[in-house]
Copies of this chain bind each other. A is one copy, B any other.
Amino acid sequence: MTLPFFYTYTFFIMAKQKDSPANNNERKNFLPHIAFDSVIFGFSGEKLKILVMEYHNTRLFALPGGFVGVTENLNDAVRRGLKERTGLSNIYLQQCYVFGDVKRHRPAVMHTILQANGHQPGDDHWMLDRFISVVYYALINYTKVTPRPDALSDSCEWYDVDALPKLMLDHGTIVKKALDTLRKNLDEQIVGMNLLPKQFTMKELQQVYEAIRGEKLQRTNFQRKMLASGLLIRHKKIFSGKAHKAPYLYQFVQ
């Protein structure tokens, strides 16, 4: 579990108060025992990356996550979190898996995080409870996003999927599961439309697929298949300023 997005707005205020009343207020605002975590995929032009947060005084790395308001749809809660981290509203979002094992519950870790931010949580603090976590993955256009660390002054940065820092709790397993699911669900149009800018070259498109599938593809056959799919509209060539033959620009239909 990560710190809730909610913190961004209210945590600092509450941190100045005694813990119990704040604890009780927050406990009433969210569904207990239910969290979500998001694996946010972006594509840099060459590599597949995900957003990872670091809790400043703890050296703990975690996925962005949060909690569900008592009158809030689960999906909306996740969108709220994504908006908070990325500034984007219309993000491609998919449920991935629910992690519900008892052994996820490690209150000491959450205690560390709370303490590192000036709290003295009692043993009955709601965030020290057992949580099940609904995991989502999101696909976003890397270039549109400036990741925003939250009010706890964590960092929030892109990391290559193959060069992640060690993540806290079971967040490493969560990333693996999200990547597996993305690979299994790999739909040409959806993935391309959400990870790439509106217009792109055939090479960029191929790099997206190679990054996700984790293997090199035959250039000529990839091109043939994509062109035959009917998903692409071809635009004018771009003269990129690089040497060699200039590529066409493409975009997805619709």
Report which A residues bind B (CB closer than 8 A).
31-34, 68, 70-75, 95, 97-98, 100-102, 130, 132, 134
Contact = CB atoms under 8 A, between A and B. Distances in A.
8 contacts: A32-B32, A34-B34, A72-B102, A74-B100, A75-B100, A75-B101, A95-B98, A132-B134
B97 A74 contact: no
| Copies of this chain assembled into the complex | 2
Contact of A102 (B32, B73, B134): B73
Contacts of A32: 32-33
Contacts of A33: 31-34
A25 to B, nearest CB: 18
A33 B134 CA distance: 14
Contact of A73 (B34, B95, B100): B100
A105 to B, nearest CB: 9
A127 to B, nearest CB: 15
Contacts of A72: 102
A5 B66 CA distance: 30
Contacts of A102: 71-73
A74 B132 contact: yes
A98 B101 contact: no
A70 B70 CA distance: 20
Q: Which 4 A-B pairs have the closest CB atoms?
A: A74-B100, A73-B101, A31-B33, A98-B134
A74 B131 CA distance: 11
B100 A134 contact: yes
Most chain B beta-carbon neighbours within 10 Å: one of A31, A73, A100: A100
Nearest to A134: B98
B70 A130 contact: yes
A187 to B, nearest CB: 11
Nearest to A32: B32
B70 A34 contact: no
